[in-house]
Amino acid sequence: MYTLTDSKIQRAVKKEFVANTVLTIAHRLETIADSDLIVVLGDGRVLEQGSTLELLNDVDGEFWSLVDQLGPERREALMSAAKGK
């Protein structure tokens, strides 16, 4: 799951840049779970985009495929984070 450092960084970004647009490039999906807009890139092109909930509801999508690989526990945590926004 989250590391302590990652959690602190995410809290600081959300607090200090609340009135700014923030572009986050992440390997851990938890880092972007509560973002306003997610853009999934692959092979140099946009594969899909939308809110976390929109992308989680598309079980045929690329984002869902990435989330599904995490397993049920982390998938549910992502869904909870997206709904808690």
pLDDT grade for 85, boundaries at 50, 70 and 90: low
Amino acid at 59: V
Q: Of all residues in the chain, what percent carry a pLDDT higher than 70? A: 96
pLDDT of residue 45: 96
Q: How far apart are CA 51 and CA 43, in angstroms?
A: 21
Greater pLDDT, 82 or 20: 20
